[in-house]
């Protein structure tokens, strides 16, 4: 979402419009949006993004139209200090949030930031609160999303999560496209020549490496997911034997329960995977939601990945009642 907003900011700035970029820096109690959420307001009140249910955005629009946000330097604004103000701005009872307002200019480095993000890299953006200047650096792994000090506001942009998909079939297009919308960096692996031409998904990268080599090069960590979708044991098993030994937070493979049982037996017998490693395999992959079509199955996979990310234990093998 922040990428879409930043692109809109760049477009407005290129048109010569004045723009204020707002970033949630702190919240207390209940707040509608998390720290790091952004909103942009153009000089005529046109808005992109969201930091609340709408009331804070309305207040920002009013301030811009009144000229109250014709800022020279970044300014910190707090909403919802008292119960009356919290109610006025659509915050839950007791909710409070701080918003850093930043006037966008050449020193904001929006275009260079977008250029780096378009290359799929993760970027640390450091805003100097005294003069509004910005420096861009390489983002450290597992860095805090946002850090505010008396001198600087540091934010991290780009994909926090990575997804490696084995196989470039039809379902991969849906899974990759949806994952990109959820801020995953997506890599598709398929060594089969006949899949190379149709394996391209805008925003994702395609590799023709063998799956085990692709997993090794991918270097899965706790922010990584690996999903095997080829239906070909020779390819899927190669990926899974490496993926299940990694620290990836999610490893899944398509196939029926019967085929999954056979797969686990093969992985144990031929590749020496332990019982604990095999228990990490989500197969059949995805939540049991009655999905039949490729986009529905892709949805079930991403829903399951999301639940695992947030530590919500849901089953892919839950029994459902027969529809009446």
Q: What is the pLDDT of residues 185-225, one digit of tens each?
A: 899 999 998 887 777 898 899 999 999 999 999 989 888 99
Q: How much is the average pLDDT of 227-250?
A: 94
Q: How far apart are CA 191 and CA 53, in angstroms?
A: 47
Render 146-157 in DSSP notation, one character per residue: EEE-SSEEEEEE
324 or 113, higher pLDDT: 113
What pLDDT does 88 receive? 59
Q: How much is the average pLDDT of 103-107?
A: 95
Q: How far apart are CA 312 and CA 305, in angstroms?
A: 10
Taking residue 55's Cβ as centre, other Cβ atoms within 10 Å add up to: 17
**pTM to 2 decimal places:** 0.65
Instruction: Name the pLDDT band for 323 (thresholds 50, 70, 90).
Output: very low
% of the chain with per-residue pLDDT over 90: 61
What pLDDT does 324 receive? 40
Rounded to 10°, the helix 233-243/211-218 angle is 30
What pLDDT does 97 receive? 85
- Range(s) of the chain covered by CATH 3.40.50.720: 161-309
What pLDDT does 51 receive? 84
Taking residue 96's Cβ as centre, other Cβ atoms within 10 Å add up to: 19
Radius of gyration of the chain (CA): 23
Q: How far apart are CA 87 and CA 55, in angstroms?
A: 10
Q: How much is the average pLDDT of 43-60?
A: 86
Contact 114, 158 (CB under 8 A): no
Task: Assign 36 to helix, strand or coil.
Answer: coil
For the stretch 128-169, pLDDT in tens is 999 999 999 988 766 677 999 999 999 988 777 899 999 998
What pLDDT does 53 receive? 67
Q: Which CATH fold topology does 161-309 show?
A: Rossmann fold (3.40.50)
Mean pLDDT of the chain: 87
């Amino acid at each position: 979402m922040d990428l879409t907003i930043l692109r809109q900011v760049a477009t407005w700035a290129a048109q010569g419009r004045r723009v204020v970029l707002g970033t949630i820096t702190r919240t207390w109690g209940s707040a509608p949006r998390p720290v790091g959420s952004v909103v942009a307001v153009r000089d005529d009140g046109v808005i992109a993004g969201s930091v609340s249910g709408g009331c804070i955005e309305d207040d920002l629009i009013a301030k811009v139209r009144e000229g109250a946000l014709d800022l020279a330097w970044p300014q910190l604004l707090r909403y919802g200090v008292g119960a009356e103000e919290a109610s006025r701005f659509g915050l839950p009872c007791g909710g409070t949030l701080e918003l850093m307002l930043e006037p966008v200019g050449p020193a904001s480095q929006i275009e260079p930031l977008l250029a780096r993000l378009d290359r799929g890299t993760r970027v640390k953006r450091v805003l100097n609160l005294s003069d509004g200047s910005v420096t861009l650096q390489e983002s450290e792994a597992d860095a805090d999303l946002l850090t505010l000090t008396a001198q600087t506001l540091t934010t991290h942009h780009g994909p926090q999560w990575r997804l490696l998909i084995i196989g470039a079939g039809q379902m991969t297009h849906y899974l990759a496209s949806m994952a990109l919308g959820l801020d995953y960096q997506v890599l598709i692996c398929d060594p089969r020549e006949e899949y190379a031409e149709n394996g391209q998904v805008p925003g994702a990268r395609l590799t023709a490496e063998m799956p085990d080599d692709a997993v090794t090069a991918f270097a899965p960590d706790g922010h990584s997911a690996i999903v095997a979708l080829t239906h070909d044991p020779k390819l899927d098993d190669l990926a899974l034997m490496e993926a299940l030994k990694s620290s990836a937070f999610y490893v899944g493979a398509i196939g029926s329960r019967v085929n999954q049982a056979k797969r686990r037996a093969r992985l144990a017998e031929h590749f020496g995977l332990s019982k604990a490693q095999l228990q990490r395999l989500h197969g059949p992959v995805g939540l049991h939601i009655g999905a039949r079509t490729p986009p529905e199955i892709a949805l079930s996979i991403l829903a399951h990945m999301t639940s695992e990310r947030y530590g919500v234990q849901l089953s892919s093998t839950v029994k459902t009642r027969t529809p009446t």
